[in-house]
Amino acid sequence: MAEFRTDKRKKKKSWKKRILWFLLFIVLVIIAFGVYILTNVFGAAQDSHEELNRPEGKSEKREEAVTIGDDPISILLIGVEDYETDGKNGRADTQIVVTLNPDTEQMTMTSVPRDTQVEFTEEEAGQYAGSHKINAAYTYGSITGYGANKLTVEKVEEELDIPIDEYVTVNFDGFKEIVDALGGVTVDIKEPFWEKNFYDNDARIYFEKGTKKLDGEEALAFVRMRKRDVNAIYSREERQRQFIQASIDQAISAGTLFKVGEISDILGENITTSLSATEIYQLQQSYSSMNASGIKTYEIEGSDQVIGGSYYFVPTEEGLRTASQQLKSELGLAEPTEGSTSENQTTTE
């Protein structure tokens, strides 16, 4: 009988040891996976990092430098079209100002039309000095050595009279690959249209009204289309903001964590940003629980005009003033004004 009890105790101890070893194994796997994520993301972020080389490390429109996670900040998202130039001297196809406020947990998006008319100095654009579209800033900054991202940021700052604290630039290949790495992005298409797929000999991609999960090629066509008649009622800027909102929802999903290896590979090759690896981590920590459905969007009022044989978007003085006041308010740089709740503001749903 005593031997039976001794054997029973030995079996219990044996099972306890197995459970402890199993738990220890799980803990080690979690730690190893965490190290893998940090190593990959940090390395990719370092490869993508490109400072703006500003005096005192801040925008000239800031009295003091901002701290991500503590202060309201602005980030310029730049989508570069460089597939026709073999990756050299591309143009900024998309420019969207994003503001993030940690106190109100509010995010806003303001599209700057690519055809907005602005002036370039000789220092900025060399022989191309004069009146041009704002999306040419990326090209001229690259050609003259002024800095493609730096000149693009400064022109948006000039136009809206606000500080741009950071930027993120992504080319078309990076955009496509990130969408595919996320497993596609689901959007609610409001109006039917079609657009060419330059990855497939300009074959048409048709978008029907309703909810659809877009892969990388489809997503690129969805945000690029700008010459179809439907653009008047379902604008390119609206589609871009709509897609970013949907992407945020997808990116903060639990499944994205396990795709970090794929995404980090894409970062180093197709994205440049002034954000350091530490700042990217701080952004994720501060805004990972943000509700994308509450994002506010602003538009710049103006009109399309033909000037000197070229097509431009010309903002009205009132439109620029209103957009500037709205963004300054979001950044805590001005008191809210009556214009901050004008027709220019939309809350995405």
What pLDDT was estimated at residue 265? 64
Flag the least confident range among 48-57, 105-114, 127-136: 48-57
Residue pLDDT, tens place only, 284-309: 777 777 777 788 989 999 999 999 88
> What pTM value is reported for the model?
0.79
pLDDT at 121 over 70: yes
Residues 6 or more apart whose Cβ sits within 8 Å of residue 248 = 290, 292, 295
pLDDT at 338 over 80: no
Percentage of the chain with pLDDT > 70?
A: 74
The CA distance from 341 to 349, in Å, is 17
Residue pLDDT, tens place only, 27-47: 665 555 455 545 555 555 566
Contact indicator for 151, 137 with CB cutoff of 8 Å:
yes
pLDDT at 86 over 50: yes
CA 287 → CA 6, 64, 291, 293, distances in Å?
Answer: 57, 22, 9, 14
Residues 6 or more apart whose Cβ sits within 8 Å of residue 73 = 66, 99, 100, 165, 166, 331
Q: How many Cβ atoms sit within 10 Å of the Cβ of residue 331?
A: 22
pLDDT at 161 over 60: yes
- Report residue 152's pLDDT band, with 50, 70 and 90 as the boundaries: very high
Helix (H) or strand (E) holding 345: strand 345-347
User: Which fold would CATH assign to domain 46-347?
Assistant: Aminopeptidase (3.40.630)
pLDDT at 126 over 80: yes
Higher-pLDDT residue of 194, 89: 194
Higher-pLDDT residue of 68, 287: 68
Residue pLDDT, tens place only, 52-64: 888 888 999 999 9
> What is the secondary structure of 261-301 as a DSSP string?
HHHHHHHHHHEEES--HHHHHHHHHHHTT--GGG-EEE---
Contact indicator for 99, 118 with CB cutoff of 8 Å:
no
